[in-house]
Amino acid sequence: MTAPADLAPLTVADGRIAEVLARWWGFETLRPLQAEAIRAALACRDSLLVMPTGGGKSLCYQLPPLVDGGTDVVISPLVALMKDQVDSLEAIGYPAAALHGALDSPERARIRDRLAAGELRLLFAAPERLVNTGLLDLLARVGVRRFAVDEAHCISQWGHDFRPEYRQLALLRERFPAAGIHAFTATATPRVRDDIVAQLGLRDPALLVGTFDRPNLVYRVVPRTDRGGQVEQILGRHRGEASIVYCISRRETEQLAGRLAATGLLAEPYHAGLDPDRRHRTQEAFAREAIDVVVATVAFGMGIDRSNVRLVLHTGLPKSLEAYQQETGRAGRDGLAAECVLLYSSADVFSWEALVRKSAAESDLEPRQQEALVNAQLEHLHAMRRYAQAARCRHAALSEYFGQRYEPATCGACDVCLGETASMAAGTVTAQKILSCVARVGGRFGVRHVAEVLRGARTDGIARHRHDALSTFGLLADLDQRTVENLVHQLLDQELLARTGGDRPVVTLNDRSWEVLRGAREVVLLEPRSGRVRTTRTEADDWQDVDRDLFERLRRWRRRIAEARGKPAWTIFDDKSLRSIARDRPASPAALLRCRGIGEKRLADFGAAILDIVAGREPADA
């Protein structure tokens, strides 16, 4: 690691950096690692910057070419990502373009002309387009000095998102021996990091690794009992705000989106099975703030840059903490408080296990490789499960998983530290009732049946097996079915109960169950009810002195501009900037220029309209 920014001597370039930052972006300071990364870029020293989503990686490759006036190239895996970035850059007057397959040939030719004329500061391209279209020759002719490889973990098969076409980037080092190569990723594991350095052939790179903790995110894990009802309740805390609800199956996204739409929410489903046109429209509507909620499978993600997502809600368990970190990373990219809730049931662990085994068995891999694949995936899954079921600080657990110490004794921003989780009054007794019911039905039935017996339900199965005659029949009649099933799953999670594999898994007792039944072991069960939530410090601070009514008026105006221009709303202005205006209530252009996010271009484009809105007048059309 290089020395922290505040110890490094200031140079003339630093003055230029500050000037460019204020003039184009309206930002006051760089974050420490940004300064390091930008200095490395300007010195043409290779670098690898590892920062969590929202950490501010893009600025590190956007700023340098404005300082030294060259054209830099950004390699990005997805067209959607490139387009969003170009839109954001155009909003501040930054000359950038993306070359991709969705352009027609006159459009492509125009971009190549601008490139040849030296008009562009940044050119975005996907790796396959970069190496297979003669583009490299053109880049060599215009004298490109820097390449930024975004989402660089895609080059590593140890990462969670390997893309073979990234491997071709190895030839950049050969073709451009004098150029700086700068890699950017949010994936922190040392193995992936080393792989990136090796594959890209980075020379003595500056290794810049940021902190993984996202203090503005509030993490909560809630026992899942009534999916639909819980989702409605949690979304109720975010009326009118952007939310992403992740589901495991496609069918679920459609059902849930339908249910939410029926309650008056602006919600749409999104999954890979919908036709591309509809997917595209949903994504655009979300970007322009025409809808608030997207109910999606993980297919919705990469390329969603909306920075003011205030809630990411998982209705099912992600397959790994890497995936969870990435999906929740889409919340609060603007640095304002946002909530990440996981509705947890260990039933999902079993479904994933079955799926992992099935897909390995159906692959063309050899048995040995299949086994290795299954084991690796189960390891990820079980790390995810441990996170969900542990009653310890979520920020600490996530940081440690990604190899970083978490110093604060309490984060003040997770369900555990906020004291929102509650244990059941009679945990041990309830566990004993459940376990003795499993003993009575003879270890031949699944979770649902056991729960039905405990609740005293009148089902065909119970009648057929005469389980209504058992002494445990109706022992938990005061609880509902989902609650009892959740309690059984909590026992499975704590390995106080076992479950067989296969198509029709049954629950059985193990040694630990008997310890509980004998009274030799205490059991803590979480109250399977959600609802209690506390306001965090960040949430309160974010709204400190903000005129909420003015903020809403600014947002409505932003939505109109976004509609009119057909651009994502946050590329016009992010929420943090709007709140800064709604806090300071500037009355003159000079005062407006002091607000966050206002540089020269935005002042010229929108200054008059914003001052009108602040003064309570109808804004002049922009």
Q: How far is the CB of 115 from ligand ADP (least distance, A)?
A: 23
| First-to-final CA distance of the chain | 46
HEC assignment per residue over 63-116: CHHHHHCCCEEEECCCHHHHHHHHHHHHHCCCCEEEECCCCCHHHHHHHHHHHH
Minimum gap (Å) between residue 288 Cβ and ligand ADP: 17
Instruction: State how far the Cα of 562 lies from the Cα of 552, in Å rounded to an integer.
Output: 15
55 binds ligand ADP (CB under 6 A): yes
Residue 53 within binding range of ligand ADP, rule CB under 6 A: yes
Q: Which is nearer to ligand ADP, 53 or 508 (CB)?
A: 53
| Residues 259 and 228 sit within 8 Å (Cβ to Cβ) | yes
478: CB partners within 8 A, 6+ apart: none
Nearest residue to the partner ligand ADP, using Cβ: 56
Nearer to Zn ion, 280 or 392 (CB): 392
- For the bound state, the minimum distance from the C-beta of residue 17 to ligand ADP, rounded and expressed in Å, comes to 10
Residues contacting residue 592 through CB under 8 Å, at least 6 positions apart: 581, 586, 598, 603, 607, 610, 611
Residue 580 found at the interface with ligand ADP (CB under 6 A): no
CA dihedral 428, 429, 434, 438 (to 10 degrees): 90
Positions in 370-399 near Zn ion (CB under 5 A): 393, 395
What's the closest the beta carbon of residue 62 comes to ligand ADP, in angstroms?
8
User: What is the closest distance, in whole angstroms, from the C-beta atom of residue 149 to ligand ADP in the complex?
Assistant: 13
When the beta carbons of 55 and 223 are compared against ligand ADP, the nearer one is 55
Tokens describing residue 15: 């003055």
Residue 57 binds: one of ligand ADP, Zn ion, none (C-beta under 5 to 8 A by kind) = ligand ADP
Q: How many CA atoms lie within 13 A of 56 on its CB side?
A: 21
Q: Does 87 bind ligand ADP (CB under 6 A)?
A: no
Closest CA to 348 of 389, 310, 311: 389
Strands, DSSP E only, in 94-209? 96-99, 122-125, 146-149, 180-185, 206-209
- Residue 56 binds ligand ADP (CB under 6 A): yes
Q: Please, which residue, 78 or 136, has the CB nearer to ligand ADP? A: 78
Residue numbers 328-387 binding ligand ADP by CB under 6 A = 333-334
| Residue list 539-578, contact with ligand ADP (CB under 6 A) | 574
Q: Pick from ligand ADP, Zn ion, none: which does 574 bind, CB < 5 to 8 A by kind?
A: ligand ADP
By CB under 6 A, what part of segment 304-333 binds ligand ADP? 307, 333
Q: How far is it, in rounded angstroms, from Cα 206 to Cα 41?
A: 10
| Identified binder of ligand ADP from the candidate list 57, 100, 449, 567, rule CB under 6 A | 57
Number of C-beta neighbours around residue 342 at 10 A: 24
Smallest CA-to-CA distance from 144 within 41, 73, 66, 63 is with: 73
CB of 396 to Zn ion, least distance (A): 6
Judged by beta carbon, residue 366 or residue 407, the one nearer Zn ion is: 407
| Residue 137: Cβ within 10 Å count | 9
Q: How many residues bind ligand ADP (CB under 6 A)?
A: 16
Is 455 within 8 Å of 476 (Cβ atoms)? yes
Whichever of 194 and 541 has its CB closer to Zn ion, that residue is 541
How far is Cα 605 from Cα 622, in angstroms, rounded to an integer? 7
Residues 367-405 as b/e (b if ≥16 CB within 10 A, e otherwise) read eeebeeebeebbebbebbbebbbeeebbbbbbbebbebe
Partner interacting with residue 356 (select from Zn ion, ligand ADP, none; CB below 5-8 Å by kind): none
CB of 348 to ligand ADP, least distance (A): 28
> Taking the complex as a whole, how short is the minimal distance between the CB of residue 335 and ligand ADP, in angstroms?
6
Mark residues 490-509: x for contact with ligand ADP by CB under 6 A, - for none: --------------------
Tell me the two tokens of residue 377. 């995936």
Closest-CA residue to 179 (of 43, 371, 25, 20): 43
Minimum CB distance to Zn ion, residue 412 (Å): 7
> What is the phi-psi region of residue 207: left when phi exceeds 0, alpha when psi lies from -120 to 50, beta otherwise?
beta
User: With 0-12 CB in 10 A as exposed, 13-18 as middle and 19+ as buried, what is 293?
Assistant: buried
- Convert residues 20-39 into a mask of x (bound to ligand ADP by CB under 6 A) and - (unbound): -------x--xx--x-----
Nearer to ligand ADP, 330 or 395 (CB): 330
Judged by CB under 5 A, the number of residues near Zn ion is 5
Question: One symbol per residue from 201 to 240: x for binding ligand ADP (CB under 6 A), - otherwise; what is it?
Answer: ----------------------------------------
In what order do the strands lie in the sheet containing 309-314?
Answer: 217-223, 338-344, 309-314, 242-246, 293-296, 267-270
Give the contact letters, 401-440, x = binds to Zn ion (CB under 5 A), - = no: ----------x--x--x-----------------------
Chosen residue from 5, 50, 51, 91 binding ligand ADP by CB under 6 A: 51
- Give the footprint of ligand ADP on this chain (CB under 6 A): 27, 30-31, 34, 51, 53-59, 307, 333-334, 574
- Give the footprint of Zn ion on this chain (CB under 5 A): 393, 395, 411, 414, 417
